[in-house]
Structure 1
Amino acid sequence: MTKQWRGRLDQAVHAGQVGGLHGIVAVRNGQTVLEYYGSGEDFAWGKSLGVVEFGPETLHDLRSATKSVTGLLYGIALGEGLVPPPAEPLLPRFPQYPDLATDPGRAALTVEHALTMSLGLEWSEDLPYTSPANAEIAMELAPDRYRYILQRPILERPGSRWTYCGGATALLGRLITDGTGQTLSQYAQTTLFAPLGIGGFEWMSGADGVASAASGLRMAPRDLARIGELVLAEGVWDDQRIVPAAWIREMTQPRLQTKWDAQYGYHWYIESIGDHRVLTANGNGGQRLFILPDLNLTVAITAGNYDDPDQWRTPLAVLEQVIFPAMA
């Protein structure tokens, strides 16, 4: 770790610009240039863990950054011929709901609509994730999560608009588990985590025992950074092909505009921050994985600002007040 990087971080901490920061791992050109661990109250899916002294091995909720990992797993399974390609209709993969398949509007749904969160169904996660009125929480509480998702009222033509939707990710998770015959955790361990040397992780499940493809992953920042390095290398780690390069390119191609300035690919955000193109995995509370291809840089951030409307400020400040000035 260079003094310049750590000095910039210390300034940001003392200036109150990175409130709630729990950890940072920044890797450039394959070398760790900044690693930091703080302390503070933390939660696992809303359950308080008390005040935690974070360290290199401490697992942390990734929350919705989990979605981007699920997107990677879908690409691995697609490369193995175990899941349907994006253009394939979605409802035939859920034959347990023949009544829904007869609806012409739902019959138009494809796997790509799930990958791009453009299902056109009624879905809102605007309320805190402690509220049963939040669509993702309602999905977790439903007797059948997949029926809950697929029978939501149709609001618009599929593919016409991006709407944040953890249900879309849950559908992808089900396609992965059906196609591979493994749980998400098992498949992730075998095909992604073990090849990256990631040993410690947890994939939390709902009351029905189904792992949350949308928000259940807990991982240390070092390991989250490894996932970023894998994407940066177009799916190769230690000369081993883990994710098809074609999927990395497809996954990070802008397809739809979000409600802010970012664009959305296949479960990854594509943003412009400063003069840089940034691939981003986002999670509630300030969890971020920033990948900056032009700088050959990956930055993994964990934080504890859950459900805070200004939670975006801390990870953005890490980039703008710490990373970019240290590289100037």
Structure 2
Amino acid sequence: MLTFRADAERVGIGVMQRPATMKVFSLVVLVTGLTLFCTGCRAGSDAGAQERSRRSFYESNPVLTDRAVVAWSTASPSKVGLDPKKLEAGAKQLAAHPRARAFLVVRSGSLAWERYFHGAGPHESRNVHSASKSLLGALVGIAIKEDELTGVDHLVAKPFGDLLPTAPDRRRTLTVEHLLTMTTGLSWREDVTEYRIERRSNWVRAILHLRSVHPPGRKFHYSTGATHVLSAVLTRSTGEATHVYARKRLLEPLGVTVDRWGCHDPQGYDSGGCNVYLTPRELARFGQLFAQGGKWEGRQLVPAKWIEESWRARQKVDRRRSYGYLWWLFREGGHQVALAWGYGGQFVFVIPDLDLVAVVTTDTKGGFSGPKLDPIAFARDFLVKAVVAK
């Protein structure tokens, strides 16, 4: 049985990314640009929303309309070894939630299940929130391969030494790996600290000057501030805005067009941890890219070795979950599950040894309300158990 959780988890990601218009700092469970990527951008963006994105960490999460639907080869569930009754049960549970919008399952590279709820459809593009952190992780892997970053040991001080406290402060030892694994040691309270940072004239400097409570690398502590700094490091190192680098090196070759990449800071650095708008089919394509080792249509977009490293447990979060390089990790039914996880119930599940990818999305316009979906229970009851033939 799928669990909708009404209790709040206290593990860092249990904080809610509220829209910019809301400044209430209560805790809930976390479950779901500067330039628009394309010419002829999508319906639903407006000058007011763009202005909010220029001064706030978070947006009001409008629903955008994508003019094109990403193509997928399709197959019936039974054709690819899936039990349609299990998938139907999962869809029924999701449909009971007023905010649920999509449930897609891909097996062996074919779209075998696609359901939309409460009037939603494949043309709708929504903020995927922190699921975009996993996309940022892919860009880091590409930049390392291209020698634009020296490696995960690349010092934040290399591009931003002028913004860090002077030596011998331990914040000067921060590396890309600390940002990837949420182990910066900096004092950060998700959904609280952001609203202080956004009032500062230089967000990267303000984040790097937060109090150091642990040596870097010692302790997992979830922080969207860490990924904002990582986006800025990527931009300084590659010479291109994060959204431009993503479009050229990853998304265009993948056949994906981001409808909006909002939340850029006063210096113009793109968000690295939220406010990327994608359709469910586009999210599924990103998951499938990782499922097949980073190769798409014969081209190696993301190094296969980087995917292996990203999915290696590096920090124990609690008894069920670990964290890799901007991916959540857990095991269910003897299978490793890699999860891109965004506020409100934006999920990209990748189960490599079952050759299975699944996407769940919800609507967070104006904020998310209602019980929270437990992704581990969902993976157990409606994904792993749906596989009847390997």
TM-score range, shorter chain: 0.7 to 0.9
Contact 1:60–1:220 at 8 Å: present in 2 too? yes
Moved more, 135-144 or 69-78: 135-144
Higher strand share: 1
Match of residue 299 from structure 2: 240
Distance of 1:196 and 1:71 partners within structure 2: 16
Q: CA deviation at 1:242?
A: 0.5
In the alignment, which of 34, 59, 66 is matched to residue 113 of structure 2?
A: 34
Match of residue 278 from structure 1: 337
Match of residue 107 from structure 1: 172
In the alignment, which of 348, 356, 372 is matched to residue 311 of structure 1?
A: 372
Match of residue 150 from structure 1: 208
Q: CA deviation at 1:54?
A: 1.9
Distance of 2:372 and 2:189 partners within structure 1: 19
Normalised TM-score (structure 2)? 0.73
Q: CA deviation at 1:9?
A: 4.3
In the alignment, which of 112, 120, 137 is matched to residue 71 of structure 1?
A: 137
Unaligned segments of structure 1, at least 5 residues: 40-52
Match of residue 181 from structure 2: 116
- SS of aligned partner of 1:54: coil
Contact 2:203–2:265 at 8 Å: present in 1 too? no
Q: CA deviation at 1:14?
A: 4.5
Distance of 1:70 and 1:256 partners within structure 2: 18
Q: CA offsets, 1:174-207, max 9 Å, x none?
A: 1111122221111111111111111353211246
Contact 1:5–1:34 at 8 Å: present in 2 too? no
Contact 1:62–1:219 at 8 Å: present in 2 too? yes
Distance of 1:161 and 1:310 partners within structure 2: 29
Q: CA deviation at 1:278?
A: 0.3
Normalised TM-score (structure 1)? 0.85
Distance of 2:319 and 2:124 partners within structure 1: 32
Contact 1:12–1:18 at 8 Å: present in 2 too? no
Moved more, 154-163 or 316-325: 316-325
Higher helix share: 1
Q: Pick 1 or 2: higher relative contact order, CA cutoff 8 A, min separation 6.
A: 2
Question: What amino acid is the match of 2:247?
Answer: Q
Change (3 A) 1:266 1:25: same
Q: CA offsets, 1:145-173, max 9 Å, x none?
A: 10111001111111111000111111110
Match of residue 217 from structure 1: 276
Distance of 2:279 and 2:95 partners within structure 1: 23
Distance of 2:196 and 2:284 partners within structure 1: 31
Match of residue 161 from structure 1: 219
- Map 1:1-328; keep pairs closer than 5 Å: 1-2=76-77, 7-14=85-92, 19=97, 20-39=99-118, 53-97=119-163, 100-125=165-190, 129=191, 134-206=192-264, 208=266, 209-259=268-318, 261-304=320-363, 310-313=371-374, 315-316=375-376, 318-328=378-388
Unaligned segments of structure 2, at least 5 residues: 1-75
Q: CA offsets, 1:235-289, max 9 Å, x none?
A: 1111101011221121111111114521111111111123321011110001111
- SS of aligned partner of 2:326: coil
Contact 2:231–2:269 at 8 Å: present in 1 too? no
Structure 1 vs Structure 2: percent identity of aligned residues? 30
Distance of 1:14 and 1:89 partners within structure 2: 48
Q: CA deviation at 1:92?
A: 2.9
Aligned length: 306
Contact 1:291–1:297 at 8 Å: present in 2 too? yes
Q: CA deviation at 1:307?
A: 5.3
Contact 2:261–2:270 at 8 Å: present in 1 too? yes
Change (3 A) 1:221 1:85: same
Distance of 1:14 and 1:186 partners within structure 2: 39
Match of residue 49 from structure 1: none
Distance of 1:35 and 1:225 partners within structure 2: 11
Contact 1:5–1:322 at 8 Å: present in 2 too? no
Contact 2:197–2:206 at 8 Å: present in 1 too? yes
Moved more, 300-309 or 283-292: 300-309
Match of residue 54 from structure 2: none
Distance of 1:295 and 1:36 partners within structure 2: 21
Question: What amino acid is the match of 1:62?
Answer: V
Moved more, 204-213 or 30-39: 204-213
Question: What amino acid is the match of 1:152?
Answer: L
